[in-house]
Amino acid sequence: MTPLDVMWIGLGGGLGSLLRWRIGAIVGEHYHGDFPLGTFLINVTGAFVIAYLAILFGVDWRDRFGSALNAGVLTGVLGGYTTFSSMQLDAAKLADAGKGWLATIYLLVSTSAGLAAAVFGAWLAVLQD
């Protein structure tokens, strides 16, 4: 990995984080329910795009940092965009608020939908290959 790769990862990560923040803010302006919809949508769309681009870029999961494009887009932008830690925090807050059932559903649905989105993204990319 070169200093230029590191720069692209940093710039991409910043862009992805800003995108995550903006989408979260937009969802928060329109949705006020208990389910953490913003984090859910961000993670599911991120899983789809990461899988889709990984197939299009021909990325081997063991070497996804191999080029500036892979590192900058997959690790940088999409790594900054998706947020596993926020998903865990959302679930913990729900559980602390006495909504353990919703926290459990949220984690199960988030994981299942993320996996389904990734499979669909990969499948779609394979169709275009």
How much is the average pLDDT of 99-120?
98
How much is the average pLDDT of 52-66?
76
Binding annotation: 79, 82
Are 71 and 9 in contact by the 8 Å Cβ rule? The answer is: yes
Binding annotation for Na(+): 79, 82
Alpha helices in the chain (DSSP H): 3-30, 37-56, 68-69, 78-81, 84-96, 100-128
Query: Would you give the DSSP letter of residue 73?
Result: I
pLDDT band at 5 (very low <50, low <70, confident <90, very high): confident
Indicate the pTM of the whole model.
0.91
Q: Identify which of 121, 105, 128 has the alpha carbon closest to the alpha carbon of residue 40.
A: 105
